[in-house]
Chain A
Amino acid sequence: MSSTTRRILAPLFTFLLFLVAWQVISWGLKVPVYLLPSPLDIWNGGMRLGPTIFSNSLETLTTILIGFALSCAVGIPLGVLVSVNRVTSEAIYPLIVFLNAIPIVAIAPILVVIFGTDITARLIIVTLIAFFPIMVATASGILDTPEEMLDLARVAGASPLTEILTVRLPHAVAFIFGGLRIGVTVAVVGAVVAEFVNANKGLGFLVTSSTAQFAIPTAMACVVMLAIISVLLYESVNLVHRVFFGWSIRREAGH
């Protein structure tokens, strides 16, 4: 067996074994469905929703993706700002740390009151939770730039902006993707929290509404869907990293 097939088949096998064990234990111990549904119950719960689960997934995915894009648009420039200049860093860092310290679950209902029940409040919630790891990672990457590379840029006569664009940011790419990997997974959490407090569609909404009706298998099916979305997004970030910024992975692996 080649190492590639093994890398795909081995975890798949473990996963199937886990599902089978769960199913067998559910049957054996006769666990009530409303306490812990078995994998087959969850499957049936999902099937009962039918295409609804996909339209709601799409709704949640939209919130995640737009919110994540906003997080990048906010987090990366902020990461640059707090790392290149001491004055900007001292001026804005405390505010950013304060914003990040706000418990997102606590502020979510307030945001809904302020911004109403449309997507705006949800996007703000996702961005608030996901920009921070992206910002911190960008800042670490910018600060990690080797001194010799900066010397090279300076001797070449680079302005501070050119230096950031041609040396610091490219160097920070490996770090930024580290932040994006964390950011995209917390964006999923943010989207679900947002839908808990304010939505009439989306997977987060389905989870709360199904639970309220004791339709636990349906709620679990939505949770499984969320997990799948989270994994797919994480892997997509990895894929973009590998395909477009392959050099930064090689360098990370190191000499």
Chain B
Amino acid sequence: MLAVSDMPTGKNPTPDADAAASKPLIELSHVGVTFPTKRGDPVVAVEDFNLNIAREEIVSLVGPSGCGKSTVLRMLAGLLKPTSGDVWIGGDPNLRGFSEVAIVFQRATLLPWLTILKNVLYPVRVLKGRVGAEDIARAHDLLALVGLDDMAERMPHELSGGMQQRAAIARSLILDAKILLMDEPFGALDALTREDLQLDLLDIHARTKKTILLVTHSINEAVLLSDRVAVMSARPGRLQDLIEIDIPKPRSHESAALPAFIEYSQRIRDDIFGPRGHRKAVS
């Protein structure tokens, strides 16, 4: 295991760790993002956005297209700077990079010239400049975790879409970042593969105790996977509702039949579409 920080992990909770855990790992306070446009009027993508995420929590961001979900994610990944407000990760406004924050995109984004193993090791290669034996061993462990241990030497194009996304998840875990950002990670997959990977993600979370921020279009997915669901409204993107999902764990697709699950889903749907949502979807 790569030690990336002296912070306690969730695996052996101590009184100190509990104290640390009470402080949110991710803090977004009064964050605004404005994009300049060539025509003049700047576009406000996110406005006065506040969200705290605790250690080991899974939080989903849902909302209509263009509500700034991905903007929030890209900001946490360090790909984008907030125009106003503060973004704190682990109490430090400057923590960035795969060692602290890892990201999984909608598309697997494996580099087609590298084998699966080397793709998983890519963040190590960028961070350290070279890949050691222990890194390779860790990459094999992660590939085993996502069920791809026999695919290490294959090229990305030889794998199905679901397998490619599993490899991308393994890559996001290679540096043992505490935070995993997922931008519609299962959005490009077929429905069956998607359900399969959702359960895998719950399993990976149970084993690795990552803090996960998930952007999704699927209300069902948000309720199934999350501890809390943040609903965003569009133009400008604001936090509209924050819902604690109190459904017992471990969850499975059978959880979707629980009355509570259905109530949560309906509440999110109402948040997004308004009261008319029962009859007519607003685009």
**Which residues in A have some Cβ–Cβ distance to B below 8 Å?**
146, 148-149, 151-158, 162, 166-167, 170, 173, 245, 247-248, 250-251, 255
Closest B residue to A158 using CB positions: B126
Give complex CA distance A170, B114 in Å. Answer: 10
Closest to A173 in B: B113
CA distance A170 to B155 in the complex (A): 15
List the B side residues contacting A146 at CB < 8 Å. 109
B23 interfacial by beta-carbon distance below 8 Å: no
Q: Is the CB of B122 within 8 A of A166?
A: yes
Bound Cα distance A154, B101 (Å): 12
B67 at the interface (CB under 8 A from A): no
Enumerate chain B residues within 8 angstroms of A149, measured Cβ to Cβ. 109, 111
Chain B residues whose CB sits within 8 angstroms of the CB of A157 once the complex forms? 96-99, 123, 126-127
B107 at interface, CB cutoff 8 A: yes
Query: Given A148-B109, A151-B79, A155-B103, are A247 and B127 neighbors across the interface (CB < 8 Å)?
Result: no
Residues of B within 8 A of A158 (CB): 126
Report B189 CB to chain A, min CB distance, Å: 15
Using an 8 Å CB-CB cutoff, how does the interface string of B58-88 with A read, 1 for contact, 0 for none? 0000000000000000100111000000000
Nearest CB of A to B225, in Å = 22
| B157: interface (CB < 8 Å) | yes
Instruction: For the complex formed, measure the closest distance between the CB of A78 and the CB atoms of chain B, giving whole angstroms.
Output: 23
Q: Which residue of A lies closest to B126 (CB)?
A: A156
Taking CB atoms, residues of chain A closer than 8 Å to B105 are: 148, 151-152
> Nearest residue in A to B156 (C-beta to C-beta)?
A247
Task: Point out the residue from A155, A167, A247, A248 that lies within 8 Å of B102, measured CB to CB.
Answer: A155
CA distance A146 to B107 in the complex (A): 11
**19 A-B residue pairs with CB within 8 Å:** A146-B109, A148-B109, A151-B77, A151-B105, A151-B109, A152-B103, A152-B105, A154-B78, A155-B79, A155-B101, A156-B127, A157-B99, A157-B126, A166-B111, A166-B122, A170-B111, A250-B157, A251-B157, A255-B157
Q: Is B125 an interface residue (CB 8 A)?
A: yes
Contacts of A251 in B (CB 8 A): 112, 157
- Min distance, Cβ B68 to any Cβ of chain A, angstroms: 17
Give the interface size bracket for B toward A: 20 to 34
Q: Which 8 residue pairs are nearest across A and B when measured between Cβ atoms?
A: A157-B97, A156-B126, A156-B123, A148-B109, A156-B98, A170-B113, A158-B126, A251-B112
B190 nearest CB across to chain A (Å):
15
Secondary structure class of chain A's binding surface, majority of residues:
helix
User: What is the distance, in angstroms, from B16's C-beta to the closest C-beta of chain A?
Assistant: 29
- Using a CB–CB cutoff of 8 Å, the interface residues on chain B facing chain A are 74, 77-79, 96-99, 101-103, 105, 107, 109, 111-113, 122-123, 125-127, 155, 157
Residues of A within 8 A of B126 (CB): 153, 156-158, 162, 166
A163's closest neighbor in chain B, by CB?
B126
Q: Known contacts A156-B97, A250-B157; can you find 17 more A-B pairs with CB under 8 A?
A: A148-B105, A148-B107, A151-B105, A152-B111, A154-B78, A154-B79, A155-B77, A155-B79, A157-B96, A157-B123, A157-B126, A157-B127, A166-B125, A170-B113, A173-B113, A247-B113, A255-B157
Closest to B98 in A: A156
Q: How far is the CA of A167 from the CA of B114 in the complex (A)?
A: 11
- Most chain B CB neighbours (cut-off 10 Å) among A153, A154, A155, A250: A155
Are A155 and B111 closer than 8 Å at their CB atoms? no
Residues of A within 8 A of B123 (CB): 156-157
A155 to B75, CA, bound (A): 11
Give Cα A250 to B77, complex, Å. Answer: 32
Please, which residues of chain A bring their CB within 8 A of the CB of B79?
151, 154-155
Q: How far apart are the CA atoms of A149 and B79 in the complex, in Å?
A: 12
Cα–Cα distance between A147 and B88 once the two chains are bound (Å): 26
User: Which chain A residue has the least Cβ–Cβ distance from B96?
Assistant: A157
Instruction: Give the chain A neighbours of B97 by CB distance below 8 A.
Output: 155-157
User: Could you tell me if B155 and A247 are in contact, using CB atoms closer than 8 angstroms?
Assistant: yes
* CB nearest neighbor in B for A148: B109
Nearest CB on A from B216, distance (A):
18
Contacts of B127 in A (CB 8 A): 156-157
Whether A247 and B103, one on each chain, are in contact in the complex, defined by CB atoms closer than 8 angstroms, is: no
Q: Are the CB atoms of A248 and B113 closer together than 8 Å?
A: yes
B113 A151 Cβ-Cβ under 8 A: no
- Shortest CB-to-CB span from A17 to chain B, Å, is 40
Nearest residue, chain B, Cβ from A159? B126
Q: Within the complex, what minimum Cβ distance (angstroms) separates B187 from chain A?
A: 13
Select B112's contact among A151, A152, A162, A247, beta carbons within 8 Å. Answer: A247
